[in-house]
Amino acid sequence: MATLNPDRSGLIAADLARAGYVRVEPPVLQPVEVFLELSGEDIRRRLFVTQDAEGRELCLRPEYTIPVSRDYLAGPQAGEPAAFAYAGPVFRHRGTEAGEFPQAGIESFGRTDAAAAEADTVAIALATSRTLGLARPLVRVGDLGLTHAVLDALDVALPARRRLLRALVRGEGARAVSALTSEGAAPETSDYAGLLNALSGLDAKAAKAIVEDVLSIAGIAQVGGRTASEIAQRFLDRAGRRETGLATDAAAILARYLDIAGPLDRAARALRDWVRETNLPLGGALDAFEARIAALTARGIAAGDLSFATGFARNLDYYTGFVFELLDPARDDGKPLGGGGRYDALLSRLGAPKPIPAVGFSLWLDRFAPGGDA
């Protein structure tokens, strides 16, 4: 069983308390549905699932961000600026690694100084990493807000956008672009083309509801071992393959965008050149990108020390803007030690009556060397 060393836990808690974060500990048992709706269907196969006496589906806490967010919205500080920290066990299937492992991190709600909040988050993650014995982790950063602005400017249809974002998570963004062109979209000739028409453009929750209704009418609980949610995702994938809305010239522009990568200072120059050449209207996304670099520099974090890629994304659906991961240069498996970013839309999706800015990070402590000598 993976446990959190009390000495390390105390050091981390002290660090985060000095930074102004109040420690919290949400319940270990959490409702399954909220993670499937907000984290993406990929998480289903990694959850430890059980039921309560009334038959409601529950899971062991797979991460902290959603539980801390739910508790914040249910508490007296809801809607007001608040900063929380945590250090405890989480539970999810991770292949050959332990399914129970210690996690520590922060969640910051309600800060309107977005660039400064993001720079603070990176700085605190780096400080916590130093506490755990890793003085100079590799830091990989991306900007999903900028990517969404590019997709908006290119008028990329929702199904194609979903496919591309999933490809980014898999590290296949540039290769996936050619499959998204209008010319590459094959017409659907199957017997269920009508259902695909109905699902095209719907979000995952609405598509799931339609498929569940169809299966319920037919009296079917599962098909081939797949649940209604999994079947809905397969239909969404099919719908996305036939309705891309991405022309060849737009695909070329997008492919060039996704080629931009390197140290953040050099990548920023390449991005500015790309914007001048394409003249795409990116609204405030480019301003936010520039402001973040300035805020990181003000926090003593050199842009040249961060590795930026336009095609970098994290494997959770709720991230909406800046994202980052920490890696140990001594590890050869490429697995991150932790990561985080901005998730402004999450609180609204959890029921907040007005938008609440949110940013945070978490570290997987079992991936740091024992004793803090990473």
3-state secondary structure the chain: CCCCCHHHHHHHHHHHHHCCCEECCCCCEEEHHHHHHHHCHHHHHHCCEEECCCCCEEEECCCCHHHHHHHHHHCCCCCCCEEEEEEEEEECCECCECCEEEEEEEEEECCCCHHHHHHHHHHHHHHHHHHCCCCCCEEEEEEHHHHHHHHHHCCCCHHHHHHHHHHHHCCCHHHHHHHHEHHHCCCCCCCCHHHHHHHCCCCHHHHHHHHHHHHHHHCCCCECCECHHHHHHHHHHHHHHHCCCECHHHHHHHHHHHCCEEEHHHHHHHHHHHHHHHCCCCCCHHHHHHHHHHHHHHCCCCHHHEEEECCCCCCCCCCCCEEEEEECCCCCCCCCCEEEEECHHHHHHCCCCCCCCEEEEEEEHHHCCHHHCC
**pLDDT band for position 186 (50/70/90)?**
very low
Q: What is the mean pLDDT of residues 267-294?
A: 94
- Per-residue pLDDT tens for 97-143? 999 999 999 999 999 999 999 999 999 999 999 999 999 999 999 99
**pLDDT band for position 95 (50/70/90)?**
confident
**pLDDT band for position 2 (50/70/90)?**
very low
**pLDDT band for position 374 (50/70/90)?**
very low
Quick one: pLDDT at residue 274? 96
**pLDDT band for position 204 (50/70/90)?**
low
Residue 373 has pLDDT above 50, yes or no: no
Quick one: pLDDT at residue 18? 86
Average pLDDT over the chain, rounded to whole? 85
Q: What is the mean pLDDT of residues 69-82?
A: 96
Cα–Cα distance, 89 to 27 (Å, whole number)? 11
Quick one: pLDDT at residue 194? 61
Residue the block writes with tokens 């993406």: 40
CA atoms within 13 A on the CB side of 96: 3
Residue 184 has pLDDT above 50, yes or no: no
Q: What is the mean pLDDT of residues 238-258?
A: 74
Cα–Cα distance, 185 to 196 (Å, whole number)? 14
Residue 1 has pLDDT above 60, yes or no: no
Residues in Cβ contact with 154 at an 8 Å cutoff, skipping those fewer than 6 apart = 246, 250, 253, 254, 280
Give the CATH class of 1-137+339-374. alpha beta
Residue 224 has pLDDT above 70, yes or no: no
Q: What is the mean pLDDT of residues 288-307?
A: 96
Q: What is the mean pLDDT of residues 49-69?
A: 94
Q: What is the mean pLDDT of residues 92-99?
A: 90
Quick one: pLDDT at residue 12? 86
Residue 340 has pLDDT above 50, yes or no: yes
Quick one: pLDDT at residue 325? 97
Residue the block writes with tokens 């977005």: 114
Cα–Cα distance, 46 to 69 (Å, whole number)? 21
Quick one: pLDDT at residue 282? 92
Quick one: pLDDT at residue 263? 97
Instruction: Show me where the domains of the chain are located.
Output: 1-137+339-374, 186-242
Residue 213 has pLDDT above 90, yes or no: no
**pLDDT band for position 202 (50/70/90)?**
low
Token duo for residue 310: 């336009």
Residue 321 has pLDDT above 90, yes or no: yes
Kindly give the pairing relationship between strand 358-364 and strand 100-109: antiparallel
Residues of the chain with pLDDT > 90, as a percent, come to 57
Residue 189 has pLDDT above 50, yes or no: no
Q: What is the mean pLDDT of residues 204-231?
A: 66
Quick one: pLDDT at residue 158? 82
Quick one: pLDDT at residue 185? 47
Q: What is the mean pLDDT of residues 328-347?
A: 93
Residue 59 has pLDDT above 70, yes or no: yes
Greater pLDDT, 21 or 7 = 21
Residues in Cβ contact with 218 at an 8 Å cutoff, skipping those fewer than 6 apart = none
Backbone angles phi, psi at 168, to 5 degrees: -60, -40
Quick one: pLDDT at residue 361? 97
Quick one: pLDDT at residue 146? 96
Quick one: pLDDT at residue 326? 98
Q: Is 160:180 a contact under the CB 8 Å cutoff?
A: yes
Kindly report the number of other CB atoms within 10 A of residue 150's CB atom: 24
Residue 200 has pLDDT above 60, yes or no: no
